Amino acid sequence: MTYELDHPEIREAVAKLCERFPGSYWRECDRAQAYPTNFVQALTEAGYLSALIPEEYGGLGLPLSAGCAILEEVHRAGCNAAACHAQMYTMGTLLRHGSPSQKAQYLPQIADGSLRLQAFGVTEPTSGTDTGALRTTARLEGDTYIVNGQKIWTSRAEHSDLMILLCRTTPRDETAKKTDGLSVLLVDMREVRGKSLTIRPIRAMMNHSSTELFFDDMPVPAANLIGEEGKGFRYILSGMNAERILIASECIGDAKWFLSKASAYASERHIFDRPIGQNQGVQFPLAKAYSEMRAAELMLREAVRLYESGANPGEEANLAKMLCADASWAAGEACLQTHGGFGFAEEYDVERKYREARLYQVAPISTNLILSYIAEHVLGMPRSY
Ligand SMILES: Cc1cc2nc3c(=O)[nH]c(=O)nc-3n(C[C@H](O)[C@H](O)[C@H](O)COP(=O)(O)OP(=O)(O)OC[C@H]3O[C@@H](n4cnc5c(N)ncnc54)[C@H](O)[C@@H]3O)c2cc1C
């Protein structure tokens, strides 16, 4: 790419680290649906996963744009940060809403990687996108919450010590709004795993370490309530802009990987005695995908700029997530097509990245819900759900 990017030293260092984890490493993990432990360890040791934790808690204290640069470069190099990106941002709920003693207790160990906080339990099988309809309950008994219910798609639960869990503490029929009465608990899974907490891995289209969780009278100390009881939904919402922006950065990294892989292949592959990339039918989808990537990237930069200026860029963060996910998907499609049959062969890594890129049309928020947000909150139309 020919234009200047922010945080060049960080980008260069991340790209160098990623060279140690080539396609063959990811293919092996993918085949076995294995956790990329060595890669996560390397990112942890380099301090990148603590980028957003303030220095007073032992983190690097860097702005969101640095987190974006790290994740973009990971994906641009053909790696996948999904195994650990949540270690970078899930702590935001604790940082913004936790008590001083909770922060002092957990953040330094999250920063040095000795504690993993990368599980985020919101989605349930019967509520899905409709978070207010979740059914997992936490009942206060003395100084302990007793949790019962189920979560689904809780990624990385097997590779996390702590989990941010959203559950209902006030019955739905006693609250004015369905998003009231929900609370956030910081669950120390080490104490309950295999007892009142059962974790079942879900084999999925790509290697994502996602799981189903079952809570059977799971005890959580009341001291692990984050913020005030009943206000959990807003605490979760308050972290959404950063999450959307960081995921959008991964999508931009993926788009760049697809485009550079495809352009190189199109120039090398000779059919009918000339490079396939000499044909406009091959060039144009790639040029179009590049232009879509650049436009999406500009929206992403705008979202980051507003976020770092202290604004609440709900519109821009949502648009960035949607446009960047669309751009990476378009680039993936053009890349696969450029590779013809070889695009389907594992050893080219295109099919793996293609499967991985597809997720961001659905998670952490689906495109439809972003469009609903824009329709309602930006264009002023009635709420559709
Ligand atoms: C690999 C993976 C990892 C994940 N990791 C996590 C995690 O760590 N923690 C976590 O809590 N969740 C996680 N999720 C869950 C993810 O956030 C949800 O899958 C997503 O929010 C959609 O919910 P759902 O799957 O229940 O779909 P549903 O809510 O059932 O929706 C299905 C489809 O209908 C559409 N739809 C639903 N309602 C409307 C409406 N009102 N208007 C228009 N369209 C609508 C949706 O856009 C979607 O396309 C993960 C999911 C996957 C696949």
Ligand 1 atom with the smallest distance to the CA of 155 is 8
Q: Is residue 126 part of a domain?
A: yes
Q: Is the Cβ atom of 202 under 6 angstroms away from ligand 1?
A: no
Asked if 163 and 70 sit in the same domain, the reply is: no
* Sequence-separated (6 or more) residues with CB below 8 Å from residue 176: none
Q: Is residue 315 part of a domain?
A: yes
* 4 belongs to the catalytic site: no
Q: Whose CA is nearest to atom 13 of ligand 1?
A: 153
Q: Domain total for the chain? A: 3
Indicate the top mutation candidate among 30, 118, 199, 362 to test ligand 1's pocket, ranked by most ligand atoms within 8 A of CB.
362
Q: Where are the alpha helices (DSSP H) in the chain?
A: 8-19, 23-32, 37-45, 64-76, 85-89, 91-97, 100-112, 189-192, 232-238, 240-268, 280-308, 314-338, 350-358, 367-373
User: What is the Cβ-side half-sphere exposure of residue 94, based on CA atoms within 13 angstroms?
Assistant: 33
Asked if 147 and 107 sit in the same domain, the reply is: no
Question: Cα–Cα distance between 365 and 48 in angstroms, integer?
Answer: 25
Contact indicator for 94, 239 with CB cutoff of 8 Å: no
In this prediction, residue 355 has a pLDDT band, given cuts at 50, 70 and 90, of very high
DSSP string, 120-169: EE---TTTTT-GGG---EEEEETTEEEEEEEEEEEETGGG-SEEEEEEES
Q: Is 58 helix (H, G, I), strand (E, B) or coil?
A: coil
Average pLDDT, the chain: 97
Does 372 have pLDDT greater than 90?
Answer: yes
Q: Is the Cβ atom of 363 under 6 angstroms away from ligand 1?
A: yes
Task: Report pLDDT digits (tens) over 190-242.
Answer: 999 999 999 999 999 999 999 999 999 999 999 999 999 999 999 999 999 99
What is the reported pTM?
0.98
Ligand 1 atom with the smallest distance to the CA of 125 is 26
Asked if 282 and 172 sit in the same domain, the reply is: no
Task: Report pLDDT digits (tens) over 272-317.
Answer: 999 999 999 999 999 999 999 999 999 999 999 999 999 999 999 9
Residue 1: per-residue pLDDT: 55
In this prediction, residue 123 has a pLDDT band, given cuts at 50, 70 and 90, of very high
Q: Is 316 helix (H, G, I), strand (E, B) or coil?
A: helix
Residue 3: per-residue pLDDT: 86
- What range defines the domain where residue 150 resides? 117-231
Hey, which residues does 121 pair with through a beta bridge?
A: 165
- Residue 61: which CATH number? 1.10.540.10
Q: Is residue 2 part of a domain?
A: no
Q: Is residue 125 part of a domain?
A: yes
- Residue 348: which CATH number? 1.20.140.10
Asked if 202 and 249 sit in the same domain, the reply is: no
**Tokens for 57?**
């808690």
Mean pLDDT of 320-348: 98
- Tokens 């199109």, residue located: 266
User: What is the Cβ-side half-sphere exposure of residue 256, based on CA atoms within 13 angstroms?
Assistant: 23
Asked if 201 and 291 sit in the same domain, the reply is: no
Task: Report pLDDT digits (tens) over 144-158.
Answer: 999 999 999 999 999
Q: Is the Cβ atom of 204 under 6 angstroms away from ligand 1?
A: yes
Residue 181: per-residue pLDDT: 98
